[in-house]
């Protein structure tokens, strides 16, 4: 039996909760703003981007995703 788990990125929600823009996060992480813009739409994420974003926002990687 195969179990499927849906994992949904929630970067947009986190930024909104903190009143932070994608541009500001881009400045803090060095990740191009376009990549940050697409984060919630992608099915896979670069490990380095996920780590940089979680560190810049001072949250766990798990907090970037809804399971």
Tell me which residue has tokens 């986190």.
Answer: 14
Alpha-carbon distance of 45 to 65, in angstroms, equals 11
CA quadruple 33, 39, 44, 47: dihedral positive or negative? positive
Residue boundaries of the structural domains of the chain: 8-66
Predicted pLDDT of residue 44 = 86
Tell me, rounded to whole angstroms, the distance of Cα 58 from its chain centroid.
12
Residue-by-residue pLDDT tens, the chain, 67 positions: 788 878 899 999 999 999 999 999 999 999 999 999 999 998 888 999 999 999 999 999 999 999 8
Does domain 8-66 fall into CATH 3.40.50.360? no
């Amino acid at each position: 039996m195969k179990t499927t788990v849906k994992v949904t990125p929630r970067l947009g929600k986190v930024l909104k909760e903190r009143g932070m823009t994608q541009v500001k996060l881009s400045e803090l992480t060095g990740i191009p703003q376009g990549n940050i813009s697409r984060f919630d739409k992608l099915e896979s994420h670069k490990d380095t981007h996920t780590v940089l974003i979680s560190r810049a926002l001072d949250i766990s990687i798990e907090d970037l995703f809804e399971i």
